[in-house]
Amino acid sequence: MDGEKSTVIVKKIKKNTKQILQDPRNANLLLDLLNYSQSKNADVVCASCRSLVAVFSHFISADCFINIGQHTVAEADLSKEDQFSSWMREQFITACDVMSDHLCRESAQIQTTAFTSLVALLQVLDKKCPQDLSDKLIESIMSCLLNDEYDQMGLIKLLPSMLTAWSDKLRMCSVCLSHLRKKLKNINQAAADTGLLNCWRTIRQLASHDLDEKLKGQLTGVVCEFLKHKMPARLYREILTGISSVMDKMSNPLRLADFLSESFNIGGAVSLMSLHGLFLLMHKYNLDYPDFYAKLYSMFEPQVFGAKYRARFFYLADTFLTSTHLPAYVVAAFAKRLSRLCLHAPASGSHIAIPFISNLISRHPTCEVLLHRTQGPTELDTDPFLADETDLSQCRALDSCLWELQTLEHHYDPSLSVKAQKRRIAENDLSPLLENTSSDIIASEAKKIKKEIPVTFQRPRRVDFYL
């Protein structure tokens, strides 16, 4: 076999498959297909997997499988037809084990082909075979998806195709969730990082489907079991950015309150990424978190303009401050703090800050006094605003004015200078500005430079040379 070219072997596989389908007496050729399926050549393995699916789908549809557990007689006493069915069942289990092993191969081609082949067999089993066969197959697939050694992100993305392979999709989800919880209780701590990563991505895929109340309760139990484990920083960040989509499918999202509150109190990028989930618990599920806006206020620091998650932070902060029921002193504190930060921020950050402040004031007309106060401070030392005060009600932002915006009128960036001069009080869409960088601003200004620059008012008629 090793000396034969893969193309020759693939042709032989197709020929054997055709012979088996034409005459069951050629079923022994199935052993050759199983042998080929364990080859090291990707093309041979993929061809054999597809052939195995064709063969077993044919015999399953023809009711050639029997449930051995239902027969009390010895195998020798079975009819020839039942003996053949019993033998086919054994080969089917062997083939499923081989294809399941392929799910942990390094070749993406083999992995994908093996997975789609197993899903195709599940679809046939749903209609014709005993439930125990399909349950074992699902368990085998899930065990490979939740492997502790291999990152199975590519296969987990294909999980929706397995969930829709059965007519009873809810039962399929239930079986997967049961196996997932069993895995989490017995996960190998020595190789937990990759295993937990696979578990989380599987949870997100399962949560993306419509679940009934019973399944939502199952999902809640799985998520709570998952969060008990110690997680690497990479996974921790991935959880915080995706927890909101899972939260909506849980029977009791408030069980995430402790996890998100502790994450919010850590500080830095972790606090930033936990903002959305915590806000959803407050907004949709009535979580009482009185220090939320004070903590959000403390996150407005100069380094936020250079943070990796700057765009996400300002988008979420603008969303959190949308409510018109916020006290005026809270809104004024955010507007004043952000305008003060503009004095230290890069131009790209100030381009976001000015429309952000405009949004705050347009939603809360009471704060327009910050723009229109004529007797405001003229020097930093006379500004009543207490920049170091953490209590929003005591920082005296409403007693001050936004004189920092007047300073920005003399900024080196002409577009920012014009924006500061206009100070238009209106709702602005921040989306186009959130991803802008200093390089984008420079490139934009460079496009405005004219190619032909006039150097004299009148074209000279002759050139005079003076010694």
Whether 240 is covered by a domain: the verdict is no
pLDDT at 419: 82
Q: What percent of the chain has pLDDT above 90?
A: 20
Asked if residue 123 is part of any domain, the answer here is yes
- What pLDDT is stored for residue 65 in this prediction? 64
d(CA 57, CA 333): 68
Long-range contacts of 125-134 (CB under 8 A, 24+ apart): 125/60, 126/165, 126/166, 126/167, 126/168, 128/60, 128/61, 128/63, 128/65, 129/60, 129/65, 130/65, 130/67, 132/67, 132/69, 133/65, 133/89, 133/92, 133/93, 134/166
Residue 452 domain-assigned?
Answer: yes
Tally Cβ neighbours within 10 Å of residue 12.
Answer: 18
pTM for the structure as a whole: 0.77
> Which carries the bigger pLDDT value, residue 388 or residue 189?
388
Residues sharing a CB contact under 8 Å with residue 423, sequence separation 6 or more, in sequence order: 354, 358, 371, 405
Residue 370 lies in a domain: yes
Tokens of 235: 């996974």
What tens digit of pLDDT does each residue of 89-101 get? 888 889 999 999 9
Tell me the residue range of the domain where 409 lies: 290-467
Decide if 310 is inside a domain: yes
* Residue 378 is assigned to a structural domain of this protein: yes
pLDDT value at position 190?
A: 59
First to last CA, the chain: 94
The predicted structure's pLDDT at residue 333 = 94
Single residue among 108, 125, 145 that ends a domain in this structure? 145
Q: Give the pLDDT score at 233.
A: 86
Residue 284 placed within a domain = no
pLDDT of residue 237 exceeding 50: yes
- Residue 369's pLDDT is 87
Identify the domain boundary among 145, 163, 186: 145
Nearest to 434 by CA among 268, 321, 273, 309: 309
Taking the C-alpha atoms of residue 186 and residue 188, their distance in angstroms, rounded to an integer, is 6
Tell me the per-residue pLDDT of 318-371, one tens digit each, with 9 for 90 and over.
888 888 889 999 999 999 999 999 888 888 888 888 889 988 998 888 888 888
**pLDDT score recorded for residue 279:** 87
Domain count along the chain: 2
What burial class does residue 457 get, using C-beta atoms within 10 Å of its C-beta: 0-12 exposed, 13-18 middle, 19+ buried?
A: exposed
Question: How many other β-carbons are positioned within 10 Å of the β-carbon of residue 37?
Answer: 25
Among the residue ranges 81-95, 173-187, 345-359, 436-450, the one predicted with the least confidence is 436-450
> Does residue 464 form part of some domain?
yes
Q: How is residue 364 annotated by DSSP?
A: -
Q: Which amino acid is at 7?
A: T
Q: Is the pLDDT at 289 greater than 90, yes or no? A: no
pLDDT confidence of 114, banded at 50, 70, 90? very high
Q: Which of these three, 97, 128, 145, is where a domain ends?
A: 145
Interatomic CA distance for residues 287 and 20, integer angstroms: 63
